Structure 1
Amino acid sequence: MSTYFISDIHGCYREFKILLKKSNFDVKKDYLWIAGDLVARGPNSLEVIRYLYSIKDRTNIVLGNHDLNLIAVYSGIKENKKENYFDDFLSSKDSDKLINWLRSQSILKINEQQKIIMIHAGISSQWDFETMKACALEIEASLLSNDYPLFLKSVFNNKINYWNSSLRKIDRLRYSVNAFTRMRYCYPNGKLNLICKKSPNVVKYPLLPWFIISNKFKEKYSVVFGHWSTLKDTRVPSAFFPLDKGCCWGGQLLMLRWEDKQYFYQSYLG
């Protein structure tokens, strides 16, 4: 049995299936961990979701910002933009089933046996371990509630970028969604910057990649994440494993086999 990690498939179904074959992923005995953004940007989001649903007993998934956006578009609270390539999904006969399954996925996954944390974007340096888990559970419960459209309508907000334990619930949720699914850079005091997407090679202080700011997780855990395609060619601390190589932008899809730390690549096919 092997454990494989991948992120930011973004509807690149052909590349995804080729990569599974290249890596010798065996659906009968291996497990696939996916660090979010299954959909959007690439042309085949429906096929990606259908395939993952068909092997759901062999997957562990955390949601990314584009996955939340699909749920919001499906709920009618956000516009279906052309670049999302959501039309096939929204018109499919099984969209209800697939959306409900997507809503049931996690925001945070922790493998205590192998000491691995998986998130889509980042972890706030202002959280301790228990706060991190509590914030993820609060988002997950909101997505599963009957009021999930109202939650999604209210939660997208750039202004909530600094953690305080006394935040009211909706602002806790806003901050948590920003940290888990959208963050790249922070200021030295931990305040989130939700605007800059450039490579750390060209960004100067006081902006710092979120994984540079001290937290105690990297002393005991490895952290797998996606979301940040411009991290390529950037040196990252050894406890962190970024997996987004920008396949949907003409780059590559990347898969990591955990046991031997072997990487597998598939270039975008157009």
Structure 2
Amino acid sequence: MQNKTNPTIWAIGDVQGCCNALDDLLQHPEIAEDPNAHFWFAGDLINRGPSSLRTLRTIMSLGDRAVCVLGNHDLHLLAVYAGIRHQNKSDTIDEILYAPDAEEIIHWLRHRPLAHYQYDHLMVHAGVMANWDVKKTIKLADEIAEVLQSKQWKKYLQKMYGNEPNRWRDSLTGSKRRRVIINALTRMRMCYPDGSMEFGSKDSPSNHKSANLLPWFDVPNRKTEKTTIIFGHWSTLGLMVRKHLLALDTGCVWGGKLSAIRLNDRKLVQVDCEGKGKK
């Protein structure tokens, strides 16, 4: 993947407002030795952890060296800011909402994609539906990006939430189409063998012995099975490194670790979390 013209890239799992851990990671000798390194963040930059505002400011300060895809917690912040979603008791986003530069931060967040493909790696927050190839995944993610960056973005987010439809059809239009795209890229974990999404399961796949449920990446005939996919979202799955899969949510906010993998050689760097977030 890497050559003389390509930067060193570290893919980083869910930070979720644990900025002390992020600072420790960025200052790790293995990472800090290259001042030109780039960082790919697999979504859920904020929420539940104690320093959501500082986390966003830190990542924003990296400029073009940071590539971020949106996760479900990041979209939740946008929905709360838009006035179409109430905060949860476990949220730690007040400091963002009342920051003097809140408008600038929200603008920056709205301009992050839901999928990123470069150097033969596809990064999303949660997963990719079995009947989407890379080209289709990026095309559909771009549909959401166009909506989020529009002047009517608040209106479009009003119908973002819901578990239906739970499968993709090319004939889908409007809010139903957008909901399936967003759910797949930011919420999906387990699926039925036909590729339709199931949203009730959050445990490790080993705890689901039903033959009717599979991790999204084990659905038969998945069109991206030969593409390396980077994702987070699934702390109970934890670190998983396969030839074409890099799962990087190692539960930092729950007292686990914050993980980074260097893409060219799969060097793993992990730092301890600063403490448990809100549940």
| TM-score, with length taken from structure 1 | 0.94
User: In 2 relative to 1, CA 256–128 (structure 1 residues): closer, same or farther, beyond 3 Å?
Assistant: closer
Aligned twin of 2:65: 58
Query: Does 1:145 find its partner at 2:136?
Result: no
User: In 2 relative to 1, CA 246–5 (structure 1 residues): closer, same or farther, beyond 3 Å?
Assistant: same
Query: Does 1:80 find its partner at 2:87?
Result: yes
Aligned twin of 2:42: 35
Query: Does 1:267 find its partner at 2:269?
Result: no
Aligned twin of 2:51: 44
| Aligned-pair identity (%) | 37
CA distance in 1, matches of 2:26, 2:133: 35
Kept in 1: contact 2:21–2:274 (CA 8 A): yes
- The root-mean-square deviation of aligned C-alpha atoms, in Å, is 1.5
Kept in 1: contact 2:134–2:224 (CA 8 A): yes
Kept in 2: contact 1:135–1:172 (CA 8 A): no
Where 1:42 maps in the other structure, the secondary structure is: coil
Aligned twin of 1:197: 202
CA distance in 2, matches of 1:25, 1:99: 28
CA distance in 2, matches of 1:138, 1:225: 20
Which letter maps to 2:217? F
| CA displacement, residues 230-251 of structure 1 (integer Å, 9 cap, x when unaligned) | 1137x66421000000111111
CA distance in 2, matches of 1:241, 1:115: 13
| CA displacement, residues 4-51 of structure 1 (integer Å, 9 cap, x when unaligned) | 010210000001100111142367411000010000010111001011
| CA displacement, residues 69-110 of structure 1 (integer Å, 9 cap, x when unaligned) | 011111111112231111111111001001000000011100
Gaps of 5+ in 1: none
CA distance in 1, matches of 2:157, 2:46: 17
CA shift for structure 1 position 59: 0.8
CA distance in 1, matches of 2:177, 2:156: 12
Aligned twin of 1:12: 18
Gaps of 5+ in 2: 1-6
Aligned twin of 1:217: 224
CA shift for structure 1 position 181: 0.2
Q: Which moved more, 1:130-139 or 1:6-15?
A: 130-139
Aligned twin of 1:229: 235
Kept in 2: contact 1:27–1:58 (CA 8 A): no
CA shift for structure 1 position 61: 0.8
| TM-score, with length taken from structure 2 | 0.91
Where 2:40 maps in the other structure, the secondary structure is: strand
Where 1:157 maps in the other structure, the secondary structure is: coil
Query: Does 1:134 find its partner at 2:150?
Result: no
Kept in 2: contact 1:10–1:42 (CA 8 A): yes
Aligned twin of 2:166: 161
| CA displacement, residues 187-210 of structure 1 (integer Å, 9 cap, x when unaligned) | 000110011001111102110000
Kept in 1: contact 2:122–2:134 (CA 8 A): no
CA shift for structure 1 position 260: 2.0
Whichever structure has more helix as a proportion of its residues is: 1
Paired residues in the alignment total: 266
CA shift for structure 1 position 175: 0.2
Where 2:106 maps in the other structure, the secondary structure is: helix
Where 2:16 maps in the other structure, the secondary structure is: coil
Aligned twin of 2:3: none
CA distance in 2, matches of 1:48, 1:125: 33
Kept in 2: contact 1:27–1:55 (CA 8 A): no
Among residues 100, 103, 117, which one is paired with 1:96 in the alignment? 103
Where 1:130 maps in the other structure, the secondary structure is: helix
Query: Does 1:250 find its partner at 2:240?
Result: no
